[in-house]
Amino acid sequence: MAADGGMGHATKRREDVRFLTGRGKYTDDYTPAKTTYCAFARSTVANGKINSIDTKDAAGMPGVVTVFTGEDFAEVGGNPAGWLINSRDGEPMKEPKRPVLAHGKVRHVGDAYAAVIAETLEQAMDAVEAIDADIDELDAVVNMVDALANSTTLVHDEIGTNQCFDWGWIEDNRAATDEAIKNAPHVTTLELVNNRLVPNAMEPRCSIGEYDPGTGDYKLTTTSQNPHLTRLLISAFVMGIPENKLTVHAPDVGGGFGSKIYHYGEEALVLAAAKKLNRPVKWTSTRTEAFLSDAHGRDHVTKIELACERDGTFIAFRTETMANVGAYLSNFSTATPTFLHGTLMAGNYTVPNVYVNVKAVFTNTAPVDAYRGAGRPEATFSLERVIDKAARELGMDPIALRRKNFIKPDQYPYASAAGLEYDSGNYDALMDGLEAAADLAGFEARRAESAKNGKLRGLGINSYIEACGIAPSNLVGVLGSRVGLYDAATVRVNATGNISVMVGAHSHGQGHETAFPQVVADMLGVDPMSIEIVHGDTSKIPFGMGTYGSRSLAVCGSAVFRATEKIIKKATLIAAHMMEDKPENVDFEDGDFSVKGTNKKVSFGDVALKAYIPHDFPLEDIEPGLEETAFYDPANFTYPSGAYACEVEVDPDTGKVDICSMIAMDDFGNVVNPMIVTGQVQGGLAQGIGQALLEHGIYDENGQLLSGSLMDYAMPRADDLPNFVVDHSHATRCTHNPIGVKGCGEAGAIGSPPTVVNAVVDALQRGGHDVEHIDMPVSPARVWEAMNG
């Protein structure tokens, strides 16, 4: 039954109240007694040999407690990559060590090589200036083509190459794909760049280390999307602190978008320092440090070919991509350009041949890892741009060309040529909805109106599919993952009937405290406000893998569902005992247990109380208490999909692009809280439009980050964006998780970039300019250059 505020209800978020009143508690809002402050010395050169680091003067500065250099961590482990990727020749990827602090060499601007701990932050920052680092600047490797061609200038000397791996997917499809392209009546080719992005969660990273010498317990309070994963990495790989002696607590987290998935060296450092000093040690990133040291996103250079029949039937997609991994392998960096990208290269289409080659390249730049969408925006951008170009070359309508090749609703489950089995979808229904919402019939009139005002109007269309609900452990294990990707939940019904739900997922803006109780309330027929979510603290929650990859509800929510099912099963036993009947005769509905065919009835609250006062329990059959845990490992990825439309106006005098409309038709399966889902899509759209029009992490040839502040890196502001039309009514249920949900967190960022660029190219084409492609960000300068260059 749908409890008030249960599944499908646009319940207002309960967590909002503390955020709106300034009572949110983010990591930097915690300052334990006797806290010391940490500041890092970071490389100003992209590639350098460390000759010596003299910390003597710094150590003597006022308030300085201690100074660390890379040498202090030479014996501890490296921060590992989570996925082992093998090259086409069978060789495993190159995995140079990623140390806590740079040792021997610095490898990107912002690479930390020393840390000062002082009584105040200002004293620590002052002392960093007094560190005398003798570092020889070396030539930097920045451009990926140069990096692969260059065998003398290396990011990591010990591996003898700048290539991390050379991966093929699916290798068995390679010959057939090559053959199909060779013989195809028509081949469309496009070279494109997926621009480097800086995630820029508004809350900068922050970490506080604490150590209790009495118990030997460590505590790390940190900005994390996945506290258990962080604990595992620190314990098993980097510091060797036993997991049971380390608590990782991520309190309120101010956005992440991927950048707070990863374990960073600063976290290990504050723990080591806290133990050495026997005092809390706090580090809070500045925005400048965030630009230089947070994991960046995207940064692919791709050539894609689409082979098709003259009637537009797709025959093959073949992709060659160079993926920048930066100076070190961040935790998910090797999975992002491979299994989160290559496996999506069949898109929504019945194409029989797909082959993807990805070369991952080390450069003297900040590490690159998963950022909202993670591989899937790159796949969608390549596919949907080359399809648009093919439509023009074939003289076909871009919607008709897509529809001609869509997988049809009766074809599920559908084994894509890129190795995934899609369980459900209806791409034609999404496109039908889009065509209606976008008023395509009125486009010509709008275009004429724009022309009257001297503007070129264009229409961009896109369809996408993503693999979310990350991920089935058995599958990802085969693909190289070193972890499982299940999640976990404990449902604890307290004696007085209210409920605590401990979950492995961790909200950094997604509204879990509101949405998860909606699921439980629906199942138990109780007031959602009687249910509290506990998350973010490894000492309180079961081992879960956290929040990313649009997985929280699909994976952790399914664990919540399973644990709640167990609660109902056990409560039914207790109710049967209370009503002196057999469990199979007991029904549970609207929060009441009753015996079929009688007027015997006990409420859920009565059963909860009885569970903890088991004076007359048959203890061989029923244990006291009402608390259940479930680990849920998905059977498959989920496959959200969508159809997007965008109209733009281009000012031919300046090249400036204005977005007139953006419409997102998404299929997320079942929806638990439509308000939150709409907000997730709107936020994703903003980041996707940011990528398409504004944002770019630009390194110069010396490896200096030119767009390294919010004054240089163009974040979307309120006046850059339109109102969005968001619709998730064309839903097909996910067939393999118990809630039927697919995940919505990344869709907007995946679907919107090609939609915008398709619209800009369409505007220029309709305006008589022979422009086939403009790389993102589609800035005024680039548009003007394309029109006039």
Across 525-617, the runs of DSSP E, i.e. the strands, are 531-534, 586-589, 592-595, 601-603
Phi, psi of 374 (to 5 degrees): 50, 80
Of 393-401, 596-604, 649-657, 677-685: span binding other proteins (CB under 8 A)? 677-685
Residue 529 vs 613, nearer CB to other proteins: 529
> What value does the CA radius of gyration of the chain take, rounded to a whole number of Å?
27
> Which member of 337, 509, 642, 697 binds other proteins (CB under 8 A)?
509
- Burial of residue 598 (CB within 10 Å: 0-12, 13-18, 19+) is exposed
Q: Give the alpha-carbon dihedral of 259, 262, 266, 268, to 10 degrees.
A: 160
Residue 14 vs 404, nearer CB to other proteins: 14
Helix (H, G, I), strand (E, B) or coil at 191: strand
The least CB distance from residue 509 to other proteins, in Å, is 3
Residue 579 vs 675, nearer CB to other proteins: 675
Q: Does 448 bind other proteins (CB under 8 A)?
A: no
The least CB distance from residue 711 to other proteins, in Å, is 5
In which element (H, E) is residue 470 found? Answer: none
Of 143-151, 200-208, 323-331, 409-417: span binding other proteins (CB under 8 A)? 200-208
Beta-carbon contacts of residue 278 (< 8 Å; ≥ 6 apart): 211, 213
Of 252-260, 424-432, 467-475, 478-486: span binding other proteins (CB under 8 A)? 252-260
- How far is the C-alpha of 59 from the C-alpha of 55, rounded, in Å? 6
Residue 325 vs 663, nearer CB to other proteins: 663
Q: Does 21 bind other proteins (CB under 8 A)?
A: yes
Beta-carbon contacts of residue 416 (< 8 Å; ≥ 6 apart): 343, 346, 354, 422
Q: Does 318 bind other proteins (CB under 8 A)?
A: no
Q: Does 221 bind other proteins (CB under 8 A)?
A: no
The two three-digit tokens of residue 409, written as one number: 């609703």
Phi, psi of 118 (to 5 degrees): -140, 175
> Which member of 10, 74, 445, 448 binds other proteins (CB under 8 A)?
10
Give residues 397-426 in contact with other proteins (rule: CB under 8 A): none
Neighbours of 22 (CB within 10 A): 7
Q: Does 38 bind other proteins (CB under 8 A)?
A: no
Q: How far apart are the first and last CA of the chain?
A: 63
Q: What is the largest CA-CA distance in the chain?
A: 87
Residue 24 vs 780, nearer CB to other proteins: 24
> Which member of 82, 204, 469, 743 binds other proteins (CB under 8 A)?
204
The answer to whether the CB of 490 falls within 8 A of the CB of 627 is: yes
Residue 224 vs 364, nearer CB to other proteins: 224
> Which member of 706, 717, 729, 785 binds other proteins (CB under 8 A)?
717
The two three-digit tokens of residue 401, written as one number: 């060309």
The answer to whether the CB of 672 falls within 8 A of the CB of 519 is: yes
Tell me which residue of 686, 660, 653 sits closest to 457, measured CA to CA.
Answer: 660
> Which member of 40, 68, 83, 257 binds other proteins (CB under 8 A)?
257
> Which member of 596, 709, 781, 785 binds other proteins (CB under 8 A)?
709
Q: Does 676 bind other proteins (CB under 8 A)?
A: yes
Which residue, chain included where needed, has tokens 């601007």?
A: 109
Residue 104 vs 255, nearer CB to other proteins: 255
Count of residues that interact with other proteins, criterion CB under 8 A: 60
Of 22-30, 319-327, 353-361, 636-644: span binding other proteins (CB under 8 A)? 22-30
The least CB distance from residue 609 to other proteins, in Å, is 31
Beta-carbon contacts of residue 422 (< 8 Å; ≥ 6 apart): 407, 412, 413, 414, 416, 465, 639
Per this entry, what is the length of the chain?
789
Give residues 718-737 in contact with other proteins (rule: CB under 8 A): 718-719, 721, 723-725
Q: Does 788 bind other proteins (CB under 8 A)?
A: no
Of 17-25, 139-147, 322-330, 519-527: span binding other proteins (CB under 8 A)? 17-25
Query: Residue 139, Cα to own-chain centre: how many angstroms?
Result: 33
The least CB distance from residue 505 to other proteins, in Å, is 15
> Which member of 200, 343, 552, 638 binds other proteins (CB under 8 A)?
200
Q: Does 707 bind other proteins (CB under 8 A)?
A: no
Tell me which residue of 159, 140, 142, 160 sits closest to 151, measured CA to CA.
Answer: 160
Q: Does 1 bind other proteins (CB under 8 A)?
A: no
The least CB distance from residue 235 to other proteins, in Å, is 28
Neighbours of 87 (CB within 10 A): 17
> Which member of 149, 202, 441, 478 binds other proteins (CB under 8 A)?
202
Give residues 100-139 in contact with other proteins (rule: CB under 8 A): 122
The least CB distance from residue 642 to other proteins, in Å, is 16
- How far is the C-alpha of 540 from the C-alpha of 208, rounded, in Å? 18
Residue 428 vs 513, nearer CB to other proteins: 513
Tell me which residue of 19, 32, 332 sits closest to 199, measured CA to CA.
Answer: 332
- How far is the C-alpha of 335 from the C-alpha of 330, rounded, in Å? 10
The least CB distance from residue 705 to other proteins, in Å, is 14
The answer to whether the CB of 673 falls within 8 A of the CB of 5 is: no
Q: How far is CA 555 from CA 558, 740, 742, in A?
A: 5, 11, 9
Q: Does 201 bind other proteins (CB under 8 A)?
A: yes
Which residue, chain included where needed, has tokens 């809002």?
A: 29
Residue 3 vs 611, nearer CB to other proteins: 3
Which residues sit opposite 282 in a β-bridge?
A: 37, 208
Q: Does 25 bind other proteins (CB under 8 A)?
A: yes
Q: What string of H, E and C letters represents the secondary structure of 54-98?
A: ECHHHHCCCCEEEEEEHHHHCCCCCCCCCECCECCCCCECCCCCC
Which residue, chain included where needed, has tokens 């009688």?
A: 598
Q: Does 19 bind other proteins (CB under 8 A)?
A: yes
What burial letters (b/e) apply to 494-524, b meaning 16+ CB within 10 Å? Answer: beebbbebbbbbbbbbbbbbbbbbbbbbbbb
> Which member of 579, 609, 715, 771 binds other proteins (CB under 8 A)?
715
- How far is the C-alpha of 430 from the C-alpha of 115, rounded, in Å? 53
Neighbours of 669 (CB within 10 A): 28
Residue 301 vs 677, nearer CB to other proteins: 677
Across 481-585, the runs of DSSP E, i.e. the strands, are 487-493, 499-503, 531-534
Q: Does 211 bind other proteins (CB under 8 A)?
A: no
Q: Does 711 bind other proteins (CB under 8 A)?
A: yes
Q: Does 674 bind other proteins (CB under 8 A)?
A: yes
Site string for other proteins, 274-303 (x = CB under 8 A): ------------xxx---------------
Q: Does 453 bind other proteins (CB under 8 A)?
A: no
> Which member of 176, 429, 483, 710 binds other proteins (CB under 8 A)?
710
Residue 478 vs 711, nearer CB to other proteins: 711
Which residues sit opposite 666 in a β-bridge?
A: 642
Q: Does 22 bind other proteins (CB under 8 A)?
A: yes
Helix (H, G, I), strand (E, B) or coil at 411: helix
The least CB distance from residue 553 to other proteins, in Å, is 15
Site string for other proteins, 742-781 (x = CB under 8 A): ------x---------------------------------
Q: Does 29 bind other proteins (CB under 8 A)?
A: yes
Of 201-209, 412-420, 562-570, 630-638: span binding other proteins (CB under 8 A)? 201-209
Q: Does 678 bind other proteins (CB under 8 A)?
A: yes
Neighbours of 251 (CB within 10 A): 20
> Footprint of other proteins on this chain (CB under 8 A)?
10, 12-13, 15-26, 28-29, 31, 122, 200-204, 252-255, 257, 286-288, 508-511, 674-676, 678-679, 682-687, 709-711, 715-719, 721, 723-725, 748
